[in-house]
A = this chain, B = another copy of it.
Amino acid sequence: MGIISAIQQRLGGDAVITPGPAMDPYLSERRGLFAGRPARAVVRPADTGAVAAVMELAAAHGVGVVPRGGNTGLCGGAAAADHSDVVILSLERLNRIRRVDADNFTLTAEAGCLLSDLQAAAAESGRLFPLSYAAENDCQIGGNLATNAGGMNVLRYGNARDLALGLEVVLADGRIWDGLRSLRKDNSGYDLKDLFIGAEGTLGIITAVTLKLFPPVRERATAIVGLDSAEAAVSLFGRLRADSGDTITSCELMGREPLSLAITHTPDCHEPLAASYPWYLLVDLTSSATGAGLAQRLEQALSGAMRGMGDYRIAADPAMAADFWRLRNSIPGAQKGAGASIKNDVSVPVADIPAFIDAASSAVIDACPGVRPCPFGHIGDGNIHFNLTRPTAMTDAAFLAQWAPLTRRVHDIAMAYAGSFAAEHGVGQLKPQEVARLKSPVEQDLMRRLKTALDPDDRLNPGKVVPPADGPPSAG
Contacts and interface: CB of A to CB of B under 8 A. Distances in A.
Contacts of A177: 440, 442-443, 446
A147 interface: yes
Majority DSSP secondary structure for residues of A touching B: loop
A449 B440 contact: no
Contact of A150 (B185, B194, B427): B185
Interface string A170-210: 01000111110111111111111011011100010000000
Interface string A224-243: 00000000001100100111
Contact of A187 (B176, B238, B287, B426): B426
Contact of A419 (B183, B190, B238): B183
A187 B246 contact: no
Given A161-B191, A183-B349, A245-B288, A453 B443 contact: no
Contacts of A103: 234-235, 238, 350-351
Contact of A191 (B179, B198, B247): B198
A203 B120 CA distance: 41
A435 interface: yes
Contacts of A238: 102-103, 105
Contact of A435 (B159, B183, B185, B188): B188
A101 B349 contact: yes
Interface stretch (A31-39, A131-139, A336-344, A378-386): A378-386
Instruction: Count the copies.
Output: 2
Contact of A418 (B150, B182, B214, B452): B182
A446 B189 CA distance: 10
A104 B350 contact: yes
A450 B190 CA distance: 9
A466 to B, nearest CB: 8
Q: Which of A186, A187, A287, A420 has the most CB of B within 10 A?
A: A187
A297 B185 CA distance: 28
B287 A176 contact: no
Contact of A420 (B102, B150, B183): B183
Contact of A425 (B105, B184, B187, B435): B187
Contacts of A292: 245
Interface in A256-297: 287-290, 292-293, 297
Given A188-B427, A449-B454, A183 B289 contact: no
Contact of A382 (B185, B194, B198, B425): B185
A160 to B, nearest CB: 10
Interface in A446-473: 446-447, 449-450, 452-454, 465-466
A347 interface: yes
Contacts of A192: 443, 446-447
A327 to B, nearest CB: 23
Contacts of A198: 187, 190-191
Given A198-B187, A439-B188, A454-B449, A242 B288 contact: yes
Nearest to A149: B187
A323 interface: no
Interface string A343-361: 0000111111000000000
Contact of A189 (B101, B241, B289, B427): B427
A229 B147 CA distance: 43
A421 interface: yes
Given A234-B103, A425-B187, A175 B442 contact: yes
A315 interface: no
Given A241-B105, A349-B106, A350-B184, A246 B190 contact: no
Contacts of A352: 104
A199 B192 CA distance: 11
Contacts of A188: 420-423, 427, 431, 434-435, 438-439
A113 to B, nearest CB: 20
Interface of A: 101-106, 147-148, 150, 154, 159, 161-162, 171, 175-179, 181-192, 194-195, 197-199, 203, 214-216, 218, 234-235, 238, 241-247, 287-290, 292-293, 297, 347-352, 378, 380-383, 418-427, 431, 434-435, 438-440, 442-443, 446-447, 449-450, 452-454, 465-466
15 contacts: A103-B235, A154-B185, A176-B442, A182-B349, A183-B349, A185-B423, A185-B424, A189-B465, A191-B198, A195-B450, A241-B288, A243-B289, A244-B289, A247-B289, A293-B293
